[in-house]
Amino acid sequence: MQPVKRAVFLDRDGVININRPHNVTSWQEFVFESGALSALARLAATDFSLVVVSNQSAIGRGQMTRAAVDEIHAQMLRAIERAGGRLDRIYYCPHAPQEQCACRKPSPEMLWRGRAELGVDLTQSFFIGDWIDDVRAARSAGVTPLLVRTGRGLAAQQEIERSALPPPLIFENLAAATEWIFKQTQAATK
């Protein structure tokens, strides 16, 4: 029997790196969340596909170029790899909300893309995010949502309480969410 392929989807801002109110516009402004690099290194030793799923509407708003975002991602990936981690895909939506694209979260489109490109079973996968739209995207795709309290997580928790959305599991940060996934799945670590 083929083992089930599964993924940990990760939002970027507020999960991997510290959120900035006016977007991370350069590598100089990119600061990893505490414990994020070691959590990613631990995840890298498992069979989970690791996929970043990020809204980068600063591009659609004309505040950043795609090249600038790609450069940040190249640097981010280098830092993650130097720390023993990996990322299998980095997906982002470059559109402003008013463009009404198909990919911007809460749309699950980027999660479906992960399924198409990596063959992962979404029902066996997790999405770690810090905003209600991350939780919505996960729920729409049948992925288990994990909300972290870093970034916009505290505000998200209040938004979710006011919404009809079933509450997600809530964790202090990426490291704690990762820890839970390990316990839950007994993922093999090297």
**Which residues belong to the active site?**
11, 13
Q: Which CB, 33 or 130, lies closer to Mg ion?
A: 130
Q: Is 130 in the site for Mg ion (CB under 5 A)?
A: yes
Give least dist CB 157 to Mg ion, A.
13
Task: Find the helix packing angle between 36-44 and 66-82, rounded to 10°.
Answer: 70
Instruction: Draw the binding track, 84-113, toward Zn ion (x: CB under 5 A; -: no contact).
Output: ---------x-x-----x-xx---------
SS3 105: coil
Taking the CB of residue 54, how many other CB atoms lie within 10 A of it? 22
- The residue sitting closest to Mg ion, measured at its beta carbon, is 14
Size of the site for Mg ion (CB under 5 A): 5
Query: Which of Zn ion, Mg ion, none has residue 69 at its interface (CB below 5 to 8 Å by kind)?
Result: none
C-alpha pair distances (Å), 180 with each of 62, 126, 169, 177 = 38, 11, 10, 5
Exposed / middle / buried, residue 113 (Cβ in 10 Å: 0-12, 13-18, 19+)? middle
List residues binding Mg ion (CB under 5 A): 11, 13-14, 130-131
